[in-house]
Structure 1
Amino acid sequence: MAIGVVLIGTLAAAPAVGVESSGSKVTVEEQLQTAISSEVEHRNAQALSPSSPQLLDLSKATAFRTSAQAKKVAGEDAQLRAQRDLLSRFDEAFTNFSSSVALDSVSSNGTSSTVQFTETTMMQRTADSSGQARPDYGYVFHATAVLQKEGGSWLIASVSHDAANTDLPETVLPSQAVLAARADGSIEKMLNKQKADVALRKSARSMGTQSLGANRAAVVDYAMKYWQQHNPAYRSIPDNCTNFVSQALSAGGWSQTGGLVYTSNSEWWYNGLLPVQTYTWVNAEDLYQFGFFNSNRFVMNQYPEPYLAGDIAFFQWHTELSDKMDHAAVLTFVDASGMPYFTENTNDHVNKSVVAMMAGYEITGNWEAFDI
């Protein structure tokens, strides 16, 4: 449970512990939260368009970091702005954001503190060339901050996240391997191929939306409602992506089938009384096998049919060495250009663009969307 939360706006300098502020003492947690929030805000600002008024305002904000961290941040800022510029070349750009930071746990010895925290951020995209609004992008991100006390103030010494986590927010730098792939041009080549694919799909006459009874609007509505605050009627699991998609499909009218063999790819069910459900309910490859091969509930989005909100998408992580599906998401928005946006769990994102997923080298150039 979070022990503190702050909405990020314009941050004032934090007074030292024990100093009176508005009639009350500022706690250690409040100082830690102010420092972490400032660091998150600074990092997120690097993703904003250069003309963003919020970017100008935040460039004047007080920083709470050690000299070593300041040097590291200066280098990362340049890389983050290069990431921003790469995304903007493919029409992924932001004008402003709002964030909140919750402290999940604090370990402190008086001069050093380690804080596990959760960041929740919403970002507003620029409009498309015709002036049509693109959807806001949001995410929930877990990270760890180490702070040192210097001169009575708590300063950020480092901020890190699980290195195995590749489904990162668009405001966070990817691994060195991804940065190298960007530098050699391979990622931009993949993005250009995706952009051409989207343009062709958009210009082609629709081949007709096939459906086997699912309510697309209900699937999208469920995903938008529960992407962040998970539905308490269901169990969440560490890798929750397919569990989330199955819940959305159920909300859209898919009926559960079977009930005896949870390992079978011909069954799809969830037991609300006992802690058991089919592999097809919670594993991407198994749901893919069930929906496409064993039940005919998925119909492959035929090229060059346009993408549609309510499609279910399956992805192969670039880091995996198999041809199995590793991830599932709900396609929740298609912009005027035909570009798809996905809402997912693990990590929790709403309307993450396919551009961002490819630029992060999270997925291969091959991914599949299915009508339902």
Structure 2
Amino acid sequence: MGAVLTAALSAVVLPASAASAAESPAAAGTVDTATARSFGRLADAVLTQRTAALLDNNEQSVRRAAPLAEKNVRLSAGQTRTEDTALSTLRTRKARLAALGEAYTSADTRVAVDRIRVEAGHATVQATETTTLTYKKIRGDEPATTGFQAHHRLSFAATADGKWQLTGLTSTDDGPLAVNEPATSRVATARTTALPEATPAAISKPSQPQTKPAGSYNYAAMASYAEKYWQNYNPAYRKFNEAGGDCTNFVSQSLKAGGWANKSGDAEDYRSWWYDTSYQSTSWVGTNEWSWFTLDAKRATNLANVYYMGVGDVMQMDFDKDGSKDHTMIVTYRSSSGVPYLTYHSVNTYRKSVASIIASYPNSLYYAYRI
């Protein structure tokens, strides 16, 4: 099955006839329905191929997608080289995952086209990828699957012979990379602060797992909430995907579901933590502010190792080690051998192992919070 085209084609300026559009799409500033579907199928093929590079069994147990070239749409030479590099990077990530004790046996990647814009011989396609991977039972206590939704922008250029070439594919999400997204370099910027600071955690797996002691919150309720709303957002809360990311907002919701109480105060004061129908504290939605509040209010303590986390605990990351935390996640599953699995927004992700995140970001800083 090819890509699922969910966009209302009114978003595409359709030509008077398919024949005129096929003759010169760049001149007409249009694409016909067949070309729009070809855009979607090519996006599906590229992203499915990336997912396949992570699989343990010779990349065979993945849904077969459309070929990387069709009659009227194909990869440019430059994008072909980019994808070759991406696949090499992902195979290296697969090897790193294997060294950490994780592998995937099968996968399913689907792409839905959300919007297409055509102007002056260039087409921009906004698309949503939904991927599910099946964990290989190496220890026997892994969850069944992990999954995520990711958003992409694809750039196409019209050629002189009336065809289209894919010239660029970019993730539009904040937060950690999807597991099938090749890493890109980040530029660190210096930052200093006198505010409460978390202690980074080690990322090597300890020889003995650590059991989380009983606490005063309902950790199962936190996990249940996160796993219910990781993909379909709770309409009772505002979304912040277009305002820096929704990750900390989502974790705050999960913590509240498990018993965290509001703490009143000025919205800009990190020592307060609350949400109401019209506004919220910065600590509810801000990654650094959440950490400052949590440590100052003694709602959590830092753990020495990310593998010590249990259900309901929280992990944050500083991608480029610039002193500013970039992302917040909550543990919703922990295997009997001591591997935490995290669920989060921006990219919407379900039960991704800490090992998988470390494999993608081996040089980042990690912060583990015992809630």
Q: With the length of structure 1 as denominator, give the TM-score of the two structures.
A: 0.76
Which of 42, 46, 52 is equivalent to 1:35? 42
Which of 135, 158, 167 is equivalent to 1:157? 167
Q: Does 1:285 align with 2:288?
A: yes
Matching residue of 1:247: 253
Deviation of 1:61 after TM superposition, in Å, equals: 4.4
Structure 2 counterpart of 1:5, which letter?
T
1:1-38 superposed Cα distances (whole Å, 9 cap, x missing partner): xx9339xxxxxxxxxx66xxxxxx95332221112111
Distance 1:166-1:227 versus aligned 2 partners, 3 A rule: closer
Query: RMSD between aligned alpha carbons?
Result: 3.2
Contact 1:246/1:282, CA 8 A, preserved across alignment: yes
Matching residue of 1:321: 322
Q: Measure, in 2, the Cα distance between the counterparts of 1:302 and 1:68.
A: 44
Distance 1:177-1:89 versus aligned 2 partners, 3 A rule: farther
Q: Secondary structure at the match of 2:61?
A: helix
1:57-113 superposed Cα distances (whole Å, 9 cap, x missing partner): 749945442344333323332222122112122122112222222223212258542
1:175-227 superposed Cα distances (whole Å, 9 cap, x missing partner): 1579xxxxxxxxxxxxxx63433x33x1x5x4x61412x21111001111111
Deviation of 1:316 after TM superposition, in Å, equals: 3.7
Q: Secondary structure at the match of 2:36?
A: helix
Contact 1:128/1:134, CA 8 A, preserved across alignment: no
Distance 1:288-1:112 versus aligned 2 partners, 3 A rule: closer
Distance 1:76-1:329 versus aligned 2 partners, 3 A rule: closer
Structure 2 counterpart of 1:268, which letter?
W
Which of 309, 312, 337 is equivalent to 1:310? 312
Q: Does 1:106 align with 2:113?
A: no
* Residue pairs, 1:68-87, within 5 angstroms: 68-87=78-97
Contact 1:261/1:278, CA 8 A, preserved across alignment: yes
Contact 1:128/1:336, CA 8 A, preserved across alignment: no
Which of 42, 45, 54 is equivalent to 1:47? 54
Contact 1:211/1:299, CA 8 A, preserved across alignment: no
* Residue pairs, 1:198-209, within 5 angstroms: 199-200=207-208, 202=209, 206=211, 209=213
Structure 1 counterpart of 2:215, which letter?
S
* Residue pairs, 1:179-258, within 5 angstroms: 194-197=203-206, 199-200=207-208, 202=209, 206=211, 209-212=213-216, 214-237=217-240, 238=243, 239-258=245-264
Distance 1:113-1:365 versus aligned 2 partners, 3 A rule: closer
* Structure 1: gaps of 5 or more residues: 7-16, 19-24, 179-192
1:214-263 superposed Cα distances (whole Å, 9 cap, x missing partner): 211110011111112211111111321111111111111222232x5212
Distance 1:233-1:60 versus aligned 2 partners, 3 A rule: closer
The alignment-based identity, stated in percent, is 24
1:291-316 superposed Cα distances (whole Å, 9 cap, x missing partner): 3322x332445779943112122x24
Q: Measure, in 2, the Cα distance between the counterparts of 1:43 and 1:309.
A: 30
Q: Does 1:297 align with 2:303?
A: no
Distance 1:365-1:319 versus aligned 2 partners, 3 A rule: closer
Q: Measure, in 2, the Cα distance between the counterparts of 1:287 and 1:68.
A: 42
* Residue pairs, 1:126-141, within 5 angstroms: 126-129=136-139, 131-141=140-150
Q: With the length of structure 2 as denominator, give the TM-score of the two structures.
A: 0.76
* Structure 2: gaps of 5 or more residues: 8-17, 20-31, 188-201
Matching residue of 2:22: none
Structure 1 counterpart of 2:179, which letter?
E
Q: Secondary structure at the match of 1:271?
A: coil
Distance 1:281-1:62 versus aligned 2 partners, 3 A rule: closer
Distance 1:61-1:229 versus aligned 2 partners, 3 A rule: same
Q: Does 1:167 align with 2:176?
A: yes
1:246-296 superposed Cα distances (whole Å, 9 cap, x missing partner): 1111111222232x5212333221111x2x1112211223222323322x3
Matching residue of 2:359: 359
Distance 1:97-1:110 versus aligned 2 partners, 3 A rule: farther
Distance 1:307-1:352 versus aligned 2 partners, 3 A rule: same
Distance 1:302-1:176 versus aligned 2 partners, 3 A rule: closer
Q: Secondary structure at the match of 1:50?
A: coil
Structure 1 counterpart of 2:146, which letter?
Y
Q: Measure, in 2, the Cα distance between the counterparts of 1:318 and 1:268.
A: 25
Q: Secondary structure at the match of 1:134?
A: coil
Q: Measure, in 2, the Cα distance between the counterparts of 1:293 and 1:225.
A: 30
1:148-187 superposed Cα distances (whole Å, 9 cap, x missing partner): 456665442321235x956111111101579xxxxxxxxx
